[in-house]
Amino acid sequence: MQSSDPYLFSTRLNTLKKAIPTWITNLQGTGNMELNQVVNELHGLIHDVSDPTPDSAHVRSQVGSLYRRVQSIQGRHKEPYQSRLKELELELAKLRA
């Protein structure tokens, strides 16, 4: 069930931003399991607001873009994991700013 509560979206976004350093640490450990967790968290955040306010629409757009980037990074299995991780770190840093 979706919620149109902008406060819920804002709370989830703040939680996500705080989790980013932990995600990066975890991602340096194992690999795709943690990437899947990031994808799932971003997907949940995107769907937290079914009818976003004008203020949250921009952030929602950023999160959606990041979600698509993470999915593309996740799927490039032939590339070295460290290069995919570095790219993901840069994308997360943009959202965290």
For 10-37, how does the pLDDT look when each residue is reduced to its tens digit (9 = 90+)?
776 677 767 666 665 555 555 566 667 7
Q: Which tens digits make up the pLDDT trace of 45-79?
A: 766 655 566 666 776 777 777 777 777 776 676 77
**Pair of tokens at residue 83:** 């290069």
- Residue-wise DSSP of 33-86: HHHHHHHHHHHHHHTTBSS--HHHHHHHHHHHHHHHHHHHHHT-TTS-HHHHHH
**Which pTM was predicted?**
0.51
* pLDDT for position 1: 42
